[in-house]
Amino acid sequence: MEAGTPGGISVQDEAVDKSNFKKCNQIAFYRRQKLLRPGKSLYRVLLDSVTLSDENVKFQIIHEGNKVLLQVEIYEIEGNIFRLKIDEASPLRPRYKVPDVLIKEPTTQRLLISHKEAGILVLSSVNEDYKLRVTANPFQVELQSKGETVMSVNSNGLLYFEHLQPPPSDRYSICLSHPRIYWCAVAENKEKQEDLGLWQEKFGSFLDIKAHGPTSVGMDFSLHGYDHVYGIPQHTETLLLKNTSDGDAYRLYNLDIFGHKIHEKIGIYGSVPLLLAHKPNRTSGIFWLNSSETLVDISTKTAKQRAVPLTDVRWMSESGIIDVFLLMGPTAFDIFKQFAQLTGTQALPPLFSLGYHQCRWNYEDEQDVKAVDAGFDAHDIPYDVIWLDIEHTDGKRYFTWDKKKFQNPRKMQEHLRKRKRKLVVIVDPHIKVDPSYILYAQAKEKGYFVKDRNGQDFEGICWPGSSCYPDFTNPDVRKWYADQFAFKTYKGSTNILFVWNDMNEPSVFKGAELTMQKDAVHYNNWEHREVHNLYGFYQQMATAEGLIRRSSGKERPFVLTRSFFAGSQKYGAVWTGDNTAEWSYLKISIPMLLTINMAGISFCGADVGGFIGDPEPELLVRWYQAGAYQPFFRGHSNMESKRREPWLFGEKNTQIIRKAITERYVLLPYLYTLFYRAHTAIPVFQRGGTVIPLKTSAGKSTEWMIDISYELHVALDAEACAIGELYVDDGHSFQYLHKKQFLYRKFTFHKNILSSR
């Protein structure tokens, strides 16, 4: 949703103004890291510090300039995964380590030291398929598979680790020990001190005070034989990642950028720090587990430029530690499985959520909702869910209703229930500052809001005007928030009401880059800079838990989120945000969704027709035809856009749109089966050689189709063979999991015979 005019404050023009968002050269930690050029690393291994346990291999490395010791830990994880962790050996205070993203602490396998002499340490996996060759001086790691070097770590000497330092008595008398460069910004060189942004950083009128000083980390990885790399969503870019030699690194920093442009590397609503590299005989991956602002530089030399292609990838984060997982594949399927093993599989969605969703900002009142619902039946167009945006609330107070427009929301939902349809309402994270608003009063009393650097509740401007933001990093806050979805608490809600989390980057209209100040303070005194990319992840987690809890754990939730991180797939769906009604945005939606899908989030979609503006009829028709084959299928538009229900564009276009949506419903058995498979780590987008289960016809909604019969379509591969599956359950509960109540059939077509078991 766009930035608009809350409380008479217009910020829409600001939101489309690119000067409100940083370019790479305006980011202080990026400028500092880029001062370190490729070359010989000044870090060396202290070989006498090497220790071996059943869990890992540990050793220390030292920087030859500042003499700071770092602790290195190397793990082999079941399933061809290696983990490399680097932290300060003796930090002044603990550094932030990302919690809750990994589904559990990974199961490790014992590494063996197979060679240790002459400055070389060779670690072998138990099955000896993989070896890690650690060079002591300079520190470097080569990861080899059956004698072939697949990946090198720090081969360009770009390991970067800003150790914690006590604050200077005079902020202009700090000497930062910088790898290969010593920056002594003394009093007479204030300009250089401020340019480095060590203890404070300005952007426009905003001042970011860094209470713990510079804490940036970075590392380079060389991918041998690879010249095709993918992943690191979310960007409005092509599927194949581009070289960043133009000076713009790929940015991972969740931002509300209304009217975002395409083919830009700036971060938008979500971030998954997973990069995939592919070549004919192998796929590899790098998962950089860091939730602070992160930039990624890519330099690829193709086979035309060197005998063996090579891609260098440089990760740079503002804070935290280095915690990186090297996914060794060797197939693309294996990579998806490995990432799911770490961060979880896609939650199995309720069947209705795979149908068509009708949304706009905003359906005005109960009569409008009923009229739109009736319109679908009158025009014989299937749909499952109608959505309500922020105007349904009492003055943008979430968990409430505008009593003039929605006088009896429960009765409205019962009307939808009889027609076998559902309702989704928006619940944004910001909470209106209003002592009479019970949600605000409770959170205020309990101390549940994010604090500013002075210890007061952080206040920002969003839809309700002055707002506070729940600290979702606090497990007690998440539990309290989940409790708000209980039927007795959320008045007017029923079990056919589901939830949309928007504006959860978080969006702060008058904040730096339209988001929360980095020096805001969260649970356990962590600064916002450490957790920024996790904020929406945690809100969706709490919301999904609330929907599960309201049914005593029996019913599956549906939660759509705009902001996301690695692991968000465990809690629901995402969409690509505020796109524009232009052909180029339809085109770019396809690689954007494929990239999100590669990063483990299978339940993803783009607003059909484009959120901003008015699509020409042909564009709208084509968008429906594309959207019908994408995992999440929703038509959505801005309040300033003309009404866009599928029957408003002439009978000919209505027929084509009806056909596209109907085809989606006929295809639901196949899509639902794919989501069941995604539950076991395969992305939803699928290829040929498949037996496709379909319904013989569509119904008014998914519930109307329960008794419609199935048919099988066989799409053969080059060998005239195909395999496929059909998965069926009740479509809404956890009975498939708790009591194994489901039907699963596997089909095989071979030698002109179709069989099943």
Count of C-beta atoms within a 10 Å radius of residue 91: 16
Residue 307's pLDDT is what? 85
Query: Is the separation of the CB atoms in 576 and 607 below 8 Å?
Result: yes
Gap between the Cα atoms of 574 and 580, Å rounded? 17
Judge whether 400 lies within some domain: no
Pairing between strand 112-117 and 120-124? antiparallel
Q: Report, as ranges of residue numbers, the positions in the chain whose pLDDT lies below 50.
A: 2-15, 171-174, 177-188
How deeply is 100 buried, as exposed, middle or buried, from its count of CB atoms within 10 A (0-12, 13-18, 19+)?
A: middle
Closest C-alpha among 388, 261, 285, 389 to residue 333:
285
Judge whether 575 lies within some domain: no
Please state the domain count of the chain: 2
Gap between the Cα atoms of 14 and 536, Å rounded? 22
Closest C-alpha among 472, 464, 458, 474 to residue 504:
472
Judge whether 380 lies within some domain: no
CATH number, domain of 43, equals: 2.60.40.1760
Q: Is the peptide bond before 533 cis (omega within 30 degrees of 0)?
A: no
CATH number, domain of 696, equals: 2.60.40.1180
Q: What pLDDT, in 10s, does the model give residues 576-585?
A: 999 999 999 9
Gap between the Cα atoms of 435 and 432, Å rounded? 9
Residue 7's pLDDT is what? 43
Closest C-alpha among 644, 594, 597, 601 to residue 623:
644
Residue 9's pLDDT is what? 38
Query: Is the separation of the CB atoms in 12 and 514 below 8 Å?
Result: no
Judge whether 463 lies within some domain: no
Catalytic: 428?
A: no
Q: Looking at 526-570, which runs of residues are DSSP E strands?
A: 559-561
Q: Is the peptide bond before 349 cis (omega within 30 degrees of 0)?
A: no
Last residue of a domain, one of 287, 314, 341: 341
Residue 268 tokens read as: 């938008």
Helix, strand, coil percentages, rounded to 5, for the chain: 25, 30, 45
Name the catalytic one among 256, 312, 505, 703. 505
Name the catalytic one among 87, 208, 471, 578. 578
Judge whether 612 lies within some domain: no
**Residue 449: C-alpha distances to residues 444, 508, 528 (Å):** 7, 14, 12
**Residue 562: C-alpha distances to residues 76, 502, 507, 568 (Å):** 34, 5, 11, 11
Residue 256's pLDDT is what? 98
Gap between the Cα atoms of 651 and 636, Å rounded? 21
DSSP letter string over 291-334? -S-EEEEEEEE-TTTSSS-EEEEEEEESSS-EEEEEE--SSHHH
Catalytic: 578?
A: yes
* Domain boundaries, position 708: 672-756
Judge whether 381 lies within some domain: no
Judge whether 288 lies within some domain: yes
Catalytic: 402?
A: no
Residue 16's pLDDT is what? 56
DSSP state of 599: T
Last residue of a domain, one of 341, 367, 395: 341
Judge whether 150 lies within some domain: yes
Last residue of a domain, one of 283, 315, 341: 341
Name the catalytic one among 88, 220, 365, 502. 502
